[in-house]
């Protein structure tokens, strides 16, 4: 969150910005809500094992953040961003309706459609938002801030809404609400069709767009199949990441010396930053199972799914935004600004401390207090890291590659999302074979926090070199 968050209301924004904000809010509501219940849903409704549920959770997160890179390529090179957003919203609707069917194959196929839809709409809606403003203006930054706030509102409302509907009505009815909300967003978006700035008009045609939509459907079926066959998903995801990372490396290698140095520095920085997500996304796996265990024990006295606590994550992002906005502004005013690279480092450190708070929560009677502190620190880590990394990418990437490397950052987030499940499974194995505490969950949290804090320390010793490369 930038310091324009506090002043964004001073600017007059195009009405179409609010349409993009609404679309992003519903997309986040759909994704984040599904993510927070996914492990419990797969275990309780379809009787999947804990290990297979973790793998599906990690693969879902990986695709959600990895596919925007390819969605951006569709909008930039094959069609245009206006069409890609419409395609994405339509596929997301189909996906949520399919997820309502109470069979594991249809649920996985539905997730595939939803993920391809998100991949198309996420990066291209951001491109459309940027096209509403002139470059290098504060009003553009304020516009992106408003979309970021809308995203977090969607993320904050999702867990509590999912939890209530799952408890009061039924698990599968949750997805009908997503379909209704995204349909509303699509209809409003289409009503303003001629007001969107179209890029790449020379390569867009009805035949080509039909082919792209058909290919998107085939891709959705493929992704759904990968999610269903968890035994092979690991190697297929490795191939997916290798191809995408290979593409980014080739792009970097073909740049001139100065750009190449900047992009390599961004590559290294993103490689560190992804480890925030290996810790932060435990909110939907290890942390959710820990809280569900405490509910079943009667220590937490509520009659709702553990996923309800995930609302705290986005809630704290919204609550802490003014604090960090004021802090960065104050440091700037006294001429002691914190270098952006160190902000990224701080974000990873806060994530490690957040998981450490859950370790304390697991071995004491301070379950609620420990949970609140842990989630607050994880949220603070995101609030410090995310706007900073986006700003660095925007400032240091060549203009003709900004969309590509914004998509590249989503790819690193995807890798972090998948590694979150690997880390959860590894901590689960270590807790069984070399438990540090008598409490099972405490050992898992201890190993996760120790790993994350180690990454933060390693980055601290390399930060100055990264800074020098970015300032070359």
**Region 13-35 average pLDDT:** 85
Other CB atoms within 10 A of residue 137 CB: 11
Identify whether the C-beta of residue 162 lies closer than 8 Å to the C-beta of residue 33: yes
Output the pLDDT for position 1: 39
C-alpha distances out from residue 176 to 25, 96, 173, 434, Å? 16, 7, 5, 44
Output the pLDDT for position 186: 92
Element (H, E) at 12: none
Q: Cα–Cα distance between 204 and 198 in angstroms, integer?
A: 10
C-alpha distances out from residue 292 to 67, 155, 302, 307, 308, Å? 31, 20, 10, 8, 10
pLDDT digits (tens, 9 = 90+) for 233-249: 778 878 887 888 888 88
Collapsing DSSP states into helix, strand and coil, what is residue 302?
A: coil
| 49 DSSP assignment | -
Give the CA angle between residues 104, 106, 108 to the nearest 5°.
Answer: 70
Highest mean pLDDT among 74-78, 110-114, 206-210: 110-114
Measured between alpha carbons, how far apart are the two ends of the chain, in Å? 26
CATH class of 3-470: mainly alpha
Output the pLDDT for position 2: 41
Output the pLDDT for position 450: 94
Is residue 50 predicted with pLDDT exceeding 70?
A: yes
As a dihedral over the C-alpha atoms of residue 74, residue 270, residue 128, residue 68, rounded to 10 degrees, the angle is: 30
Collect contacts of 96-100 with beta carbons under 8 A, ≥24 apart. Answer: 96/30, 96/175, 96/176, 96/178, 96/179, 96/182, 97/175, 97/176, 97/179, 99/34, 99/172, 99/175, 100/172, 100/173, 100/175, 100/176
Taking the CA of residue 341 as centre, how many other CA atoms within 13 Å lie in the half-sphere pointing to its CB?
20
Q: Cα–Cα distance between 243 and 261 in angstroms, integer?
A: 22
pLDDT digits (tens, 9 = 90+) for 95-106: 999 998 888 999
C-alpha distances out from residue 29 to 12, 81, 89, 245, 371, Å? 26, 22, 13, 28, 22
Collapsing DSSP states into helix, strand and coil, what is residue 197?
A: coil
Q: Cα–Cα distance between 393 and 385 in angstroms, integer?
A: 12
Environment class of residue 12 by beta-carbon count within 10 Å: exposed (0-12), middle (13-18) or buried (19+)?
exposed
Instruction: Report the percent of the chain where pLDDT is more than 90.
Output: 25
Domain coordinates in residue numbering, the chain: 3-470
Identify whether the C-beta of residue 239 lies closer than 8 Å to the C-beta of residue 114: no
116 phi/psi in degrees, rounded to 5? -65, -40
pLDDT digits (tens, 9 = 90+) for 310-355: 667 777 877 887 788 778 778 878 888 888 899 999 999 999 999 9
pLDDT digits (tens, 9 = 90+) for 376-407: 999 899 888 887 787 777 778 776 676 677 77
Output the pLDDT for position 298: 67
Q: Which of 266, 265, 270, 253 is nearest to 465 (CA)?
A: 265
Output the pLDDT for position 350: 97
| Band of pLDDT at residue 305, cut at 50, 70 and 90 | low
465 phi/psi in degrees, rounded to 5? -70, -40
pTM score of the predicted model: 0.73
């Amino acid at each position: 969150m930038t310091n324009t968050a506090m002043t964004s209301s001073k600017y007059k924004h195009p009405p179409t910005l609010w349409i993009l904000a609404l679309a992003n809010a519903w997309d986040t509501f759909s994704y984040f809500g599904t993510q927070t219940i996914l492990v419990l849903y797969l275990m309780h409704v379809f009787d999947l094992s804990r290990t297979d549920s973790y793998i599906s959770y990690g693969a879902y997160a990986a695709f959600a953040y990895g596919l925007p890179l390819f969605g951006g390529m569709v909008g930039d090179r094959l069609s245009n961003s206006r069409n890609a957003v419409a395609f994405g919203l339509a596929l997301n609707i189909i996906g949520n309706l399919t997820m309502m069917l109470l069979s594991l194959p249809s649920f996985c196929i539905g997730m595939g459609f939803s993920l391809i839809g998100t991949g198309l709409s996420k990066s291209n809606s951001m491109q459309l938002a940027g096209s509403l403003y002139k470059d290098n203006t504060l009003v553009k930054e304020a516009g992106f801030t408003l979309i970021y706030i809308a995203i977090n509102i969607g993320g904050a409302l999702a867990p509590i809404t999912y939890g209530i509907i799952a408890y009061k009505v039924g698990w599968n009815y949750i997805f009908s609400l997503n379909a209704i909300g995204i349909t509303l967003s699509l209809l409003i978006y289409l009503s303003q069709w001629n007001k969107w700035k179209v890029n790449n008009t020379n390569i867009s045609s009805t035949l080509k767009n039909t082919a792209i939509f058909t290919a998107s459907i085939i891709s959705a079926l493929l992704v759904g199949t990968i999610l269903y066959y968890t035994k092979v998903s690991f190697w297929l995801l490795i191939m997916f990441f290798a191809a995408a990372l290979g593409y980014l490396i080739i792009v970097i290698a073909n740049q001139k010396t100065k750009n190449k140095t900047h992009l390599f520095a961004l590559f290294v920085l993103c490689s560190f930053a992804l480890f925030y997500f290996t810790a932060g996304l435990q909110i939907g796996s290890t942390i959710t199972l820990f809280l569900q265990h405490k509910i079943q024990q009667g220590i937490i006295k509520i009659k709702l799914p553990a996923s309800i606590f995930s609302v705290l994550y986005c809630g704290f992002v919204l609550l802490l935004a003014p604090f960090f906005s004021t802090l960065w502004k104050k440091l700037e005013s006294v001429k002691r600004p914190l270098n952006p690279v160190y902000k990224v480092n701080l974000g990873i450190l806060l994530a490690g401390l957040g998981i450490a708070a859950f370790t304390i929560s697991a071995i004491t009677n301070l379950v609620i207090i420990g949970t609140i502190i842990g989630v607050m620190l994880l949220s603070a880590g995101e609030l410090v890291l995310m706007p900073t990394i986006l700003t660095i990418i925007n400032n240091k990437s060549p203009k003709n590659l900004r969309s590509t490397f914004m998509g590249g950052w989503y790819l690193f987030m995807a890798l972090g999302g998948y590694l979150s499940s690997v880390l959860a499974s590894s901590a689960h194995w270590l807790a069984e074979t070399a438990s540090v505490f008598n409490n099972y969950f405490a050992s898992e949290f201890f190993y996760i926090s120790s790993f994350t804090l180690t990454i933060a320390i390693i980055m601290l010793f390399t930060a100055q070199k990264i800074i020098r490369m970015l300032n070359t």
